[in-house]
Chains A and B, each alone.
Chain A
Amino acid sequence: MASLRDIQSKINSTKKTKQITKAMQMVSASKLSRAEQNAKAFVPYSEKMQEVVSQIAASDDATHPMLQTRAVKKTGYLVITADRGLAGGYNNNVIREVYRTIQHQHASADEYTVIAAGRFGRDFFKKNNMPIAKEIIGLPDQPDFADIKQIASEAVEMFLEGEIDELVMFYNHYNNAISQEVTSQKLLPLTDLSADTGRAVQSMYEFEPNAEEILKILLPQYAESLIYGALLDAKASEHAARMTAMRNATDNANERIDDLTLTYNRARQAAITQEISEIVSGAAAQQS
Chain B
Amino acid sequence: MSTVTTSIVTPDGPVLEEDYEMVSCTAENGELGILPGHIPLVAPLKVSSVRLQIQGRTDYVSVSGGFLEVRPDRVTILAQSAERASDIDVDRAEQAKQRAEKRLQDKQANLDQIRAEQALNRAINRLDVASHAR
- Residues of A whose CB lies within 8 Å of any CB of B are 38, 41-42, 44-46, 48-49, 52, 56, 144-146, 149, 203-209, 213-214, 217-218, 221, 224-225, 228-229
Contact = CB atoms under 8 A, between A and B. Distances in A.
Nearest to B80: A145
A-B pairs, top 3 by smallest CB distance, nearest first, are: A41-B13, A208-B43, A145-B11
A207 B27 CA distance: 12
A48 B10 CA distance: 10
B40 A204 contact: yes
A146 B81 contact: yes
Given A48-B69, A48-B76, A52-B69, A42 B12 contact: yes
Contacts of B29: 208-209
B12 A208 contact: no
B117 to A, nearest CB: 15
Contact of A203 (B10, B27, B71): B71
Contacts of A38: 12-13
Contact of A42 (B13, B40, B71): B13
A52 to B, nearest CB: 6
Contacts of B10: 45, 145
Nearest to B7: A44
A214 B43 contact: yes
Q: Is the interface of A mostly helix, strand, loop or mixed?
A: helix
A42 B80 CA distance: 11
A49 B14 contact: no
A49 B78 CA distance: 7
Contacts of B40: 203-206
Interface string B50-91: 000000000000000101010100001010110000000000
Contacts of B12: 38, 41-42, 144-145
A204 B39 CA distance: 9
A208 B71 CA distance: 14
A208 B11 contact: no
Interface of B: 9-14, 27-29, 32, 39-44, 65, 67, 69, 71, 76, 78, 80-81
29 contacts: A38-B12, A41-B12, A42-B11, A42-B13, A44-B13, A45-B11, A45-B78, A46-B11, A48-B76, A49-B78, A52-B42, A52-B78, A145-B81, A205-B40, A205-B41, A205-B42, A206-B39, A208-B27, A208-B32, A208-B43, A209-B29, A209-B43, A213-B28, A214-B42, A217-B67, A221-B80, A224-B80, A225-B11, A228-B11
Contact of B43 (A48, A207, A221): A207
B42 A208 contact: yes
B21 to A, nearest CB: 21
A44 B44 CA distance: 19
A44 B69 CA distance: 14
Contacts of B11: 42, 45-46, 145, 225, 228-229
A229 to B, nearest CB: 8
Contacts of A205: 40-42, 69
A56 B42 contact: yes
Contacts of A42: 11-13
Most central of A205, A206, A208 by chain B CB within 10 Å = A208
B42 A217 contact: no
Nearest to A150: B115
Nearest to A42: B11
Contacts of B32: 208
B119 to A, nearest CB: 11
A48 B44 contact: no
Given A56-B42, A204-B40, A48 B78 contact: yes
Contacts of A214: 42-44, 67
Contacts of B13: 38, 41-42, 44-45
Nearest to A149: B80
